Amino acid sequence: MANISITLRCSRHCRYCFARQERARHPGADMPTETYHAVLELLHRSRMPVVRLLGGEPTEHPLFCDYLVRAFDRGFRVVVFSGGFIPPAALSFMAAQPMSRLALVLNVADPAEGGEALMRRQREVCETLGERVMLGVNVRSPGDDRAYVFDWVTEYDLCRTVRVGMAHPNWGGTNESFRLRGPRTIPILERLASSAARLGMDVSFDCGFTPCMFSPDFVDAHFEIFADRPADGGDGRGTLTEAVGSRCSPVVDILPTGECIACYALSQFHRLPLPSGAGETRDELVAAFEARLAAALPMGVFRECDHCSYRETGLCGGGCRARRAQRLRPDSASLLQPAGDAGPRSAPPPPTT
């Protein structure tokens, strides 16, 4: 899969936002039409059936509806990732599209922090788009229980899979993130999965989760979540199909400028230009990022990862790479910006752990 960040505009100010650094560097940046066309060409050459539009808030791009049409005309299905502040014209346009063309992943706000206006807008999105909507939550602390989203699924007849993410640190640690001090069970994750199962729903865990965040009994009872199986094509819908412990490969996020990064959490790590050659595909980008990451980062988030049975048996790839960067010594930062790197050269070193 690949994510296209068509704009860095966003009306929300989430403290855990992975894109904080990019938004600070290029506030309000919009992807121009020629860059968007080049990205669609790359995805077409890469035989990728789905266009994933991110931001910022992608629906705030002045040409959002036009960009949807251009993707549809090329035969792509589109998945939009939104925070809920969707302009009325964009919401109406999406409501007119069949499910075969369009889905939306809605990042649900915490009612205690989101404010009445945002919660009202998010409910309006759910009511308008119905089963096109998959709800998503980002867990920021052990007590951050978002089980109320299952009520929304039932109330608005939404997609019956809820996407659960974790607030990971970005390179430099400028965002609020879930603090991890060692391998340990995080009960809220199992409670969310169990609550969904009781209601006949699914939970799809996003990148960076590892088996050690779950109890051994849960891993044994839900081995299908942790086994290495083919991905679902990245269309944002469907049930659990990709192993939890292996979900930290370079996604490839394409910024409004056309620069490519492994993911937003590592936006200050390494950048590559958008491939333009007839034979160049996303696979070349992934391979380049994989090689650089493997050379620079520890094999796991914790020191204990070096002798972890989950890693040794192939159930875990080492966890979030942005978290692995936090294990580096400050004097190791030079490994992340070798000579010839197209990316920024003044990234702050991660904290020593």
**CA–CA separation, 129 and 182 (whole Å):** 41
Give me the domains of the chain, ranges plus CATH numbers.
3-336 (3.20.20.70)
- The confidence score (pLDDT) of residue 153 equals 97
- By the 8 A CB rule, do 265 and 168 touch? yes
Residue with tokens 């990064």: 261
Read off the pTM: 0.87
Task: Tell me how far apart the alpha carbons of residues 269 and 262 are, in angstroms, rounded to a whole number.
Answer: 8
* pLDDT for 338 beyond 70: no
The per-residue pLDDT for range 248-294, each reduced to its tens digit, is 888 899 999 999 999 988 888 889 999 888 789 999 999 999 999 98
Percent of the chain surpassing pLDDT 90 = 58
For the chain, how are helix, strand and coil distributed in percent, rounded to 5? 40, 15, 50
CB atoms within 10 A of CB 163: 23
Judge contact between 12 and 83, C-beta under 8 A.
Answer: yes
What pLDDT does 300 receive? 92
Burial class (CB in 10 A: 0-12, 13-18, 19+), 169: buried
Residue 77 near residue 98 (C-beta atoms within 8 A) = no
51-60, 72-81, 337-346, range with the lowest pLDDT: 337-346
Report the alpha-carbon angle 331-327-163, nearest 5: 135
Scanning 149-203, the segments in alpha helix (DSSP H) are 149-156, 187-198
CA quadruple 180, 181, 184, 185: dihedral sign: negative
Which pLDDT value is given to residue 242?
A: 62
d(CA 39, CA 282): 10
Instruction: Please state whether beta strands 253-254 and 3-5 pair in parallel, antiparallel, or not at all (unpaired).
Output: parallel
Q: Is 190 within 8 Å of 216 (Cβ atoms)?
A: no
Beta carbons of 153 and 160 less than 8 angstroms apart:
yes
For the chain, give the mean pLDDT. 86
- Please tell me what DSSP assigns to residue 5: E
Asked if pLDDT for residue 89 goes beyond 90, the answer is yes
Mean local confidence (pLDDT), 202-208: 91
62-86 mean pLDDT: 97
